[in-house]
Every structure is written in C-alpha cells, then in structure tokens.
Structure 1
C-alpha cells in the first residue's frame, strides 16, 4: 500500500468539496446546458484530474502516477456507457432539460458515496482473498460477452428497485413542480417525479459499479489510487453527458471498444491472481501497457465510428422512443422548454 501523506488526502477532499460547491452555485438557476457550456465544464473537470495526476506523480512516484492515470482513463471510458442509460432515464420520465443537471448533480454525490463504500470493501477483500480476482475476472468476461453480442440487460427506470422502494415510503405525484423534489398536497408531503429520477440514476450507478469496481481494482489495489481516480471520473460525468448527448449514437463502435478493454482487464486480473497464488514466474501486465491499450482502443473505436457511420434507421440507444412512465409525465407538451411546468398547480413548497 502507498504511504500517502495526510495532506494529499486533505487536498483531494478539499478539491472535491470546493468543486461541487462551485458547480452547485454556478447552476443554482435551472437552465438548459448547451454544448459550449458543457464543453467548458468538461475541460475544467479533465484539467483538475490531470493536475491532480501530476501531483500524484510528483509526490508518490511514477508507478502511482501511472496507475492513477490508467484507472482514471479506464473509469472515464466505462462511464460513457452510463450516458446512454442517463438518456434513457430522462426520456422515460420526460425530464425537462432545464432540470437534468440538478438530477445528475445529486446523482454524482450519491455515486461518490456508494463508490467509496464499494471500493473500500473491494480493496479489503482483495488484500485478504486474492482468489476473488478470478471472480472479478469472470464478471468482466461476462460483461464482454454481453457487449459483443449486444445482450446487455435492458434497464427499465420505472421498475428499478430504487424507484419501487421510494414509492413504498412516499407518494409520487404525476407532474413536475419546477426543480423541487417535494411539494405539499392536501397538507401531505409528496415527492415529485424529479426525486424518482434521482433514485433511478442511483440505481443505474449501482448496476455499473458491478463492472467498474472490478476493473479499477485490476489496475491498483491501493485505496487512494482507486478512489481518487473514480471520483475525478465521476465529477466530470455530468458535463460529458451534456456535451455528448446529441452525439452518442454516432459512436456505435464504442461498445465494442469497451468490450475489448474489459476483456483485456479480465486477462490482467487472471494473470495478477495467478502470479500471486500459483507462481511468481507468471507475468503480470504493467500499468504503462494497460494505459497504452486503453488509449489505443478508445481512440480506434471513436475514429472507426466516425469513418463508418451507423446505417440509417439503426436502433438508437438514447431512449427517445421509450414510453413514458406512470409517474413523471410533464403537465404539457412544452414542458421540456418550460422552466417551471407546474406553475399554477395546487402544490406548495414542502
């Protein structure tokens, strides 16, 4: 394990807290995030991740810096698949575009907490039971199979466990109430569909953690490396979504590229476990090679997608034709462009 100075943990925590606060204050007024604004924010998040990586290089050494960069790029690439699910969820619940950033903001906070728990447990288990790496590799190989065969499990936001659990504890009204999560109706507090959307986003992240946690643990088993790389990848997820939301279907080879990356990481896990459990003569894949493979495969899949566009009429993954849920329908057809579609309703602030 790395001997990480306390001040570096403090610098990381301060960076995350300040970044979230600045982001929240900058978007305290609901508005539609356009490409130019999203690109600027995405550049900021990438810049912060790169600067932090440089600090890791200088303080903890080249090996730790390479592992951080590899883990961050791996999580960044795997998170692209989350964007398709976000689009499906927003289409399913007919979320007005002006409120999508608010949903993703709270989704990111939940993801930071859940990933911290899962990664801490993963690091603890791997440090005590090396054989679990074989199980992690099996998970990644199965995910590779699903991606290559286009057999990914469909995600139904309205039937997710988180949404069903929410509805057991609190009623959910059918109409939005601006950017509010709760309103009072007839003296009772009820949730708006926006809270159900946050629950669906959190449920989706739990599903994706099944792939991402084993993958990042193949790069490093150090808690500092795996969590900081995940955190910076997650922080930039919202801006990346708004920047690429209109271009997602153009990158139709990206899923194949992700499948290759997952298969490669699965092989890395098997070799890593075999090296520790069977024989030290079994080679391991160094982090610089992992980093090079991820960069080459990602770049290749994006370039190939642009050079060979998907056939016209291909089924899109962004969920634009998904049926509306029984909760979350806007009060009017123009709700997406209306900053507060529920103005004039009987609901009051909770």
Structure 2
C-alpha cells in the first residue's frame, strides 16, 4: 500500500468539494445545457483529473501516477454505458431538459458515496483473499460476452429497487413541480417525479459498479488510487453526457472496444492472482502496458466508428419508440419547443 501524505487526501477532498460547489452555483438556475457549455465543463473536469494525476506522479512516483491515469481512463471509458442508461431514464420519466443537470448533480454525489463504500470493501477483500480476483475476472468475462453478443440487460427505471422503495416510503405525484424534489399537497409532504429519477440514476450506478469495481481493482489495490481515479471520472460524467448524448449512436463500435478492454482486464486479473498464489514466475501485465492497450483500443473503436458509419457497418438501429430521444439535450442553436422554454411548468407528466 502507498504511504499517502495526509495533505494529499486533504487536497483531493478540497478539490472535490470546491468543484461541486462551483458547479452547483454555476447551474443554480435551471436551463438547457448546450453543446458549447458541456464542452467547456468537460475540458475543466478532464484538466482537473490530469492535474491531480501530475501531482500523484510528483508526490507518489511514476508507478502510482501511471496506475491513477490508467484507472481514470478505464473508468471514463466504462462510464459511456452509463450515458445510454441516463438517456433511457430521462426519456422514460420525460424529464425536462432544463432539470437534467440537477438530477445528475445529486446522482454524482450518491455515486461518490457508494463507490467509496464498494471500493473500500473491494480493497479490503482483495488484500485478504487474493483468490477473489478469479471471481472478479469471471464477472468481467461475462460482461465481455454480453457486450459482444449485444445481450446487455435492459434497464426498466420504474422497476428498479430504489424507485420501488421510494414509492413505498413516500407518495410520489405524477406531475413535476419545477425543479423541486418535494412539495406539500393537502398538508402532506410528497415527492415529485424528479426524486424518482435520482433514485433510478443511483440504482443504475449500482448496477454498473459490478463491472467497474473489479476492473479498477485490476489496475491497483491501493484505496487512494482507485477512489480518486473513480471520483474524477464520476465528476466529469454529467458534462460528458451533455457533450456526447447526441453523438452516442455514431460510436457504434465503442461497445466492442469496451468488450475487448474488459476481457484484457480479466486476463490481467487472472495473471495477477496466479502470480501471487501459484508462482512468482507467472508474468503480470504492467500498468504502462495496460494504459497503452486501453488508449489504443478506445482510439481504434472511435476511429473505426467514424470511418465506417452505422449504415455502412450495417448496424444502424431505429429508435425503439417515438420518445426514444426525448431525454437527450440539444446542441446550442438547436430548435426548442415552447415546453423547453418554460422550465418551471408544473404540469409535466412522468409517464
């Protein structure tokens, strides 16, 4: 385990808190996030992640810095699947575009908490039971199979455990009330559909943690490296959604690239566990090689998607319903309906 100075933990915590406060203040007024604004925020989040990585290089050494960069890039790439689910959830609940950032903001806070818990448990388990790495590898190989066979489980937001529990704990009205999560009706406190959307987002992140936690533990078993890399990847997730939501269908080879990456990480886990449990003569895959493979595969998947559009590749798919794109943001200058121009309209049905 790395000997991380206390001030570095403090610097990380301060960076996250300040970033969230600045983000919240910058978006305190509900509005549609356009392409230019999303691009600017994406650049900011990536810059913060890379700057923090440079600090790790200088303070903890090249190995720790490489592991952090690899883990951050891995989590960033795996988070693309989250973007598809965000679009499904927003479309299902017919979330007004002006409120989507507010939902994702609270979703990010929940993700930071739950990922911290899961990663802490994962690090503790791996440090005591190295053989569990074989089980983690099996999870990644199964995820690879589903991606290659296009057998990803469909996500029904309204049937998720979090949403069902929310409806049992508190009444949820059918109409939106601006950007509020709670209102009073007949003297009783009730939730708006916006709170149900946050619950659905959190439930989706818990599902994706099944893949991401074993994957990042293959890169490093140090709590500081795995959590900080996850945190910076999660912080940039909102801006990445608004930046890429309209472009996701163009990157039709990205799932295949993610499958290759997961399979590679699975092999890395097996070699890592075999090296520790069976023989030190079994080679391990180094962090620099992992970084090179992840970068190359991602770049190749994006380049191939752009070079061979969906129609040429024979993979173009029609929308599953007329409302399939209802939750997607529009670039600056795009046509907006009268409904989008009035974000405080309280009569917005959830289904």
Greater shift, 334-343 or 118-127, is seen at 334-343
Which residue number corresponds to residue 153 of structure 1? 153
- Distance in structure 1 (CA, Å) of the matches to 2:338 and 2:198: 22
1:219 aligns with 2:223: no
SS in 1 for 2:190: strand
TM-score with structure 2 setting the length: 0.93
Greater shift, 131-140 or 182-191, is seen at 182-191
5+ long unaligned stretches in structure 2: 327-336
5+ long unaligned stretches in structure 1: 325-332, 345-350
SS in 1 for 2:183: strand
Deviation at 1:313, TM superposition (A): 8.4
SS in 2 for 1:183: strand
Q: Number of paired residues?
A: 336
8 Å Cα contact 1:172-1:191 kept in structure 2: yes
SS in 1 for 2:310: coil
- Distance in structure 1 (CA, Å) of the matches to 2:321 and 2:260: 25
- Distance in structure 2 (CA, Å) of the matches to 1:316 and 1:72: 33
- Distance in structure 1 (CA, Å) of the matches to 2:130 and 2:170: 43
Q: Which of the numbers 333, 336, 339 marks the counterpart of 2:343?
A: 339
Which residue number corresponds to residue 261 of structure 2? 261
- Distance in structure 1 (CA, Å) of the matches to 2:319 and 2:220: 32
1:29 aligns with 2:29: yes
SS in 2 for 1:221: coil
Q: Aligned-residue CA RMSD in angstroms?
A: 1.7
Which residue number corresponds to residue 182 of structure 1? 182
SS in 2 for 1:270: helix
1:241 aligns with 2:208: no
Counterpart mapping for 1:1-350 below 5 A:
1-311=1-311, 314-315=316-317, 321-322=323-324, 335-342=339-346
SS in 2 for 1:136: helix
Closer, same or farther in 2 for the Cα pair 1:183/1:41, shift >3 Å?
A: same
Deviation at 1:343, TM superposition (A): 7.0
- Distance in structure 2 (CA, Å) of the matches to 1:39 and 1:22: 17
Closer, same or farther in 2 for the Cα pair 1:320/1:61, shift >3 Å?
A: farther
Deviation at 1:133, TM superposition (A): 0.1
SS in 1 for 2:268: helix
Closer, same or farther in 2 for the Cα pair 1:216/1:318, shift >3 Å?
A: farther
Deviation at 1:341, TM superposition (A): 1.5
8 Å Cα contact 2:252-2:315 kept in structure 1: no
Deviation at 1:37, TM superposition (A): 0.3
SS in 1 for 2:79: helix
SS in 2 for 1:190: strand
8 Å Cα contact 1:92-1:323 kept in structure 2: no
